[in-house]
Amino acid sequence: MMKILCIGALTIGSLYYAQNYPISSIPENLKKNASVVIRKESTAVEINKIDDIVYKKSSIVTILNKDAIPYSIPRISYEKGDNVSNVKVIVYDESGKKIKSYSKSDFTDIAANPQGTFYSDSRMLILPFTSSSFPYTVEFSYELSDENTVFIPDFIPFYEYNVALEESNYSITNRSGINLRSKVYESPFNYASVDAKSNGENKMYTYKNIQAIDNGQLVPSPQKVLPKVSFSLDKFNLEGKQGDIVSWKDFGTWYYQNLLTPVSVSTPQIKAEIASLNLSGTTEEKVKKIYQFMQNKTRYIFVALGIGGWQPMLPDEVQKKGYGDCKGLTNYMRTLLTEAGIKSYYSIINSNSSPISFDKDFPKMAGNHVILTIPTEKGNIWLENTSQQIAFNHLSYSTTDRNVLMVKPDGIDIVQTPSSSAEENKEKQALYIQLNPDKSITGKGKFSYKGAQYDFNLMYLLLPEKDKTDVMKKVYSTLDFENIEMKDFNNDKNLAVIDFNLDFKALNYSKPVGSSYLFRAVPIYKESTYHEDSTRELPFESKLSYSDESEIIYELPPNYYIEEIPKNGNIDSEFGSYQVTFEKQESKLIVKRTIKINKGIYPKEKYSDYINFRKKILNADNSKILMSKKS
């Protein structure tokens, strides 16, 4: 949704062509964990008027291995009406010898949305360049002139894992006479710092010698680790519409009047849709009925038209065509509610797996998704409008626990989305397992998921039956399945609960020991590997609070009994807790297991403690039970 002026490290560059940058000159410390090294890059921003901004970009980037191939493809994102010029690309081999050069005429012009776009003013120039040998270096530069001055990008060292940086410079010159605000956000973990200088209308920022962030276990995203600098003009232009963004109130008023009011138009057909629903009951009951009606008649398609891609489609278009993007579908739902006499608010959010919130003290155009907020006496109802499968009043894990910009006629209210507890993000398993003397097991399982674990299991609704089986085998790879069948899949869109049953047979579950058998306590769990890291440089993040609850009933073969069971286990930690109990009955063994994981970012010094906690759980799950034959 956000107009992105540059994609990938290649598009943030530097205007340096004095040397060829052989691979041998890269400092060894920057090669650690790196697939890409940004050798030198520069962005020079010139703000000339409220509707005239120029970006001069250049980069020299070394591609060390095939994992970094996307970085070797020069690309320039632009909007209809932008002017792209002075495009140059030079490719060098490992020693710094020039291989080939390219110009703008070698680029292909495509739609800018990677998922495919039905309608779009957003475009991308892309050079279809590939290399079969590594390493090599790409030098890339261009200029882009734009009339839209509301989207001045942040300056951050890099956005991806396994990218290292030698030097990056960002200069911004403001000749417009409009106040330019800037704010430096330091790295919360002191991983890197920015050098800032200011001279009148000129500001200069520099990063140097920043090591790659490895995409290792529980490493926070680079955006949460690295420093950044944000910029915003007090007055801006967006597709010919000028506004103020001195405060969230000013910006919200402008947004409502210029982006939402022109498309807040109902029609006789929309009025008829609401009348046909024969609404009654509480506000929540009415909203639910309208929401599920909207879900059943629409689908998501990305649409990047209308005032820089930020204005929604008209609700009449969505109503007639049956599709829209997050903006169009949310605005259509808002219009339906208005016809029903129910107030709702278009709400801008950052949708990410790890929460990213807006700065209440630094207003600027931002966000990458839109949802709908409906205030009621019992609290806010939250609607995700892009999914035909998701439950009513349920936000996915990528939009909970952060704030939203709730756009109202008199400004923006910054409101927090719900946070979910471990108990609310729950998996329940009930397994009945027949132990067989040939080392196999046959089993039946009932599975139930809610909260964020509901989100993860929605994918099964989109899969063919065969693919469901393949996915189940991978998810529960702790068992050697001979066959497995998912049955009775149910998505309860009222309660946000997914249920299904499994029938399965797995081989080699027990191990013969003379005439007895050993088997592990817990048959089905999501297998993970946890490694010590004595040289860890960053904190670790547990992104989600969740809980799992299992009851496993083992049915013994005839003439067998349980000879030995482990002791009941209880593990408590700041990271969570775990309990397992064992109960012998005449021909059965009942195992009960609960695990709770706490969400949080923890200092690197506690990583060993966390690994020990997870290993203790893994050992308890794999503790052995002895089944022997009766004499």
Over 80: is that where the pLDDT of 307 sits?
no
Residues in the chain: 631
- Place 294 in a pLDDT band, splitting at 50, 70 and 90: very high
Over 70: is that where the pLDDT of 319 sits?
yes
Percent of the chain with pLDDT over 90: 81
Over 90: is that where the pLDDT of 502 sits?
yes
Distance CA 432, CA 551 (A): 9
* Virtual torsion, Cα 336, 490, 417, 594, nearest 10 deg: 170
pLDDT of 83-116, one tens digit each? 999 999 999 999 999 999 999 999 999 876 644 4
pLDDT of 235-278, one tens digit each? 999 999 999 999 999 999 999 999 999 999 999 999 999 999 99
Over 50: is that where the pLDDT of 150 sits?
yes
- Count of Cβ atoms closer than 10 Å to residue 275 Cβ: 11
Over 60: is that where the pLDDT of 18 sits?
no
Instruction: State the average pLDDT over residues 507-528.
Output: 91
pLDDT reported for residue 113: 60
Over 70: is that where the pLDDT of 26 sits?
yes
Instruction: Tell me what the pLDDT averaged over the chain comes to.
Output: 91
- Better-scored residue on pLDDT, 200 or 10: 200
Q: Is the pTM of this model over 0.95?
A: no
pLDDT reported for residue 11: 35
pLDDT of 327-363, one tens digit each? 999 999 999 999 999 999 999 999 988 899 999 999 9
pLDDT reported for residue 2: 40
pLDDT reported for residue 308: 57
- Place 13 in a pLDDT band, splitting at 50, 70 and 90: very low
Nearest to 539 by CA among 601, 472, 628: 601
- Please identify which residue in the block is written with the tokens 């309990």: 579
- Place 120 in a pLDDT band, splitting at 50, 70 and 90: low
- Count of Cβ atoms closer than 10 Å to residue 55 Cβ: 22
In the three-class reduction of DSSP (H, G, I as helix; E, B as strand; rest coil), residue 342 is classed as coil
Q: Which of 124-133, 310-319, 437-446, 604-613 has the lowest mean pLDDT?
A: 124-133
Over 70: is that where the pLDDT of 323 sits?
yes
Contacts of 588 (CB under 8 A, 6+ apart): 553, 554, 555, 556
pLDDT reported for residue 466: 84
Structure tokens at 205: 């920022």
- Please identify which residue in the block is written with the tokens 């609850």: 549
Percent of the chain with pLDDT over 70: 94
- Place 216 in a pLDDT band, splitting at 50, 70 and 90: confident
pLDDT reported for residue 475: 87
- In DSSP notation, 194-257 reads -EEEEETTEEEEEEEEE------TTPPPHHHHS-EEEEEESEEEETTEEEE-SSHHHHHHHHII
pLDDT reported for residue 69: 86
